Amino acid sequence: MFTINHWFHRNPLKSTAAVSFDHRTSPSSTDAMQICHQLRQIRLELLQSLCNPTLETPTVRDLFDKYISLLSGFLTAPDGASDDSKLRYTTKFYWTDSLTKLDTITDVQDAQFEVCCMTLNVAMWYTKHAAYVASKSSTPSDKDALDVHKSLRIAAGMFKYVMDVEIRKLHNVKLPACSDVNEKIIAAYYYSCLGEFHEVTLARAINAKQDNTLISSISNQISQYFEMGGQQLTSFDDKVVGQWRMYFGLKAKFYLAEARAYQALEFLKKNDAPNALRTAEEASKVQQQAANFCEQYSKTKGAGSPQRHPFFLQLDSLIRRVQSTIEFENNVMHHKRAATDLLPLDGNPMHGILPAEEYIPAKLNSLFSADAYRAFDIGRNVGKAYKEDKHARDVKEAHEMPIPQGMPPSESACTIA
């Protein structure tokens, strides 16, 4: 049985103010009023659910789909008379960002902004759910392992959809520098999810005793995902994104070292002692770089200590074992010197690498009929200045249930059977 221990960095959820939906939409029929009522209730229930990573994924997905199915009538006209709904710009939405929390509150009078923000928040919940499942037991079942993998793959698909589709529909919106709706911030989340769900794939490959070349190539691909994620953050204030960047750095180096370790084992298997020695040396060097990132990460405010977590200790043990084996074999049998040049890694795994799961948004709710749509008499407010509710900016930080992190090895190991 192979044990893999996940170390996950998680930013806080986005927070938002309550929304009435009937402030300037003037619903004048029972169905129209019911739409506003359900939007308020489902939105509140959804936001409360996102604070609990222990919930089952269908529970959260069903709530989210119900909300989007109703909100769709605020985006596209249900009567087909035009592309944009007449309700799209009637309501103002207030959101914080995951990197700056309550320091910055962005308000946008556009339902498209709400779609972007809520979808991103739900995607973040999936990543937190995966982290919870990975940390709750030292011997998780196959079902739990698949839950971690699928949740992260779904999250990746949601981030990709917002990045490729939804944010393109926003126009003339002024956003803060580290907004979650920034394409590079979303891309960082996307690459993080790609790397993390393939960590489970890698554990499976090692447990199944796949050949060294495949394991090395998957490890290298994971390293590249985390490297690309970190690159998205280079233009942002390090005081805001610094800890997150270090997470990408330590994961990128971790899996690069693992890729080199298994490449060294493959050279040894082929009796290529010079390249085995040189590659093992590189694995040790990169592992030390990962250790440096871990140390820096640990010094940031509120961070755990990955270098004392089984996640990192396992790599240290692997590198030492590989080096010891290769040096012993060389001293006893080959008597060769290490190669001068370092050969490249295999960057194209034959199998094991999957794309993000495609996200398909819910269709328009049947309650939002053409008649219900026409019953919103927005003409009453034409020409009137937007009067902000006195509680509109009353945004409170989401009270998230904490996820165990950095626990002792006996309690925090995630075993993939």
pLDDT for 379 equals 84
Residue 399 lies in a domain: no
pLDDT for 414 equals 30
How many CB atoms are located within 10 Å of the residue 16 CB?
A: 20
Residue 410 lies in a domain: no
pTM reported for the whole predicted model: 0.92
Residue 125: pLDDT above 70? yes
49/131 same-domain check: yes
Residue 387 lies in a domain: no
251/172 same-domain check: no
pLDDT bucket at 405, cuts 50 / 70 / 90 = low
At 235, the amino acid letter reads: S
172/262 same-domain check: no
Of the listed ranges 1-10, 23-32, 111-120, 174-183, the one predicted with least confidence: 1-10
246/197 same-domain check: no
44/19 same-domain check: yes
At 124, the amino acid letter reads: M
pLDDT for 338 equals 87
HSE toward the beta carbon, residue 69, CA cutoff 13 A = 16
Residue 410: pLDDT above 70? no
140/285 same-domain check: no
**Residue 339 DSSP class:** P
The pLDDT tens digits for 138-175 are 666 889 989 999 999 999 999 999 999 999 999 999 99
Q: What number is the average pLDDT over the span 356-383?
A: 92
User: 351 versus 89: which is more confidently predicted?
Assistant: 89
201/248 same-domain check: no
Residue 98 lies in a domain: yes
**Is residue 27 within 8 Å of 133, Cβ to Cβ?**
no
The pLDDT tens digits for 37-55 are 999 999 999 999 999 999 9
375/342 same-domain check: no
Return mean pLDDT, the chain: 89
pLDDT for 351 equals 84
Domain extent, residue 200, equals 1-209+354-380
User: 404 versus 292: which is more confidently predicted?
Assistant: 292
Residue 390: pLDDT above 80? no
144/265 same-domain check: no
Residues belonging to the chain: 417
pLDDT for 3 equals 44
Nearest 5°: the CA angle 215, 217, 221 is 115
Q: Residue 356: which region, alpha, beta or left (left: phi > 0; alpha: psi -120 to 50)?
A: beta
Residue 216: pLDDT above 70? yes
Look at residues 349, 372, 400 and tell me which one is the last residue of a structural domain: 349
290/314 same-domain check: yes
CATH number at 174 reads 1.25.40.280
Residue 138 lies in a domain: yes
19/90 same-domain check: yes
Q: Which residues lie closer than 8 Å to 40 by C-beta, 6 or more apart?
A: 18, 19, 20, 21
Residue 416 lies in a domain: no
Nearest 5°: the CA angle 31, 166, 183 is 145
Look at the chain and report how many structural domains it folds into.
2
Percent above pLDDT 70 for the chain: 90
pLDDT bucket at 304, cuts 50 / 70 / 90 = low
pLDDT bucket at 407, cuts 50 / 70 / 90 = very low
Q: Which of 269-278, 324-333, 389-398, 407-416 has the highest mean pLDDT?
A: 269-278
pLDDT bucket at 408, cuts 50 / 70 / 90 = very low
Residue whose C-alpha is closest to residue 322's, from 260, 256, 376, 239: 260
Residue 127 lies in a domain: yes
pLDDT for 5 equals 63
Residue 276 lies in a domain: yes
343/359 same-domain check: no
User: 230 versus 384: which is more confidently predicted?
Assistant: 230
The pLDDT tens digits for 243-279 are 999 999 999 999 999 999 999 999 999 999 999 999 9
Contacts of 387-390 spanning 24+ positions with Cβ under 8 A: 388/92, 389/20, 389/23
The pLDDT tens digits for 317-364 are 889 898 888 888 878 887 788 888 999 998 788 788 999 999 999 999
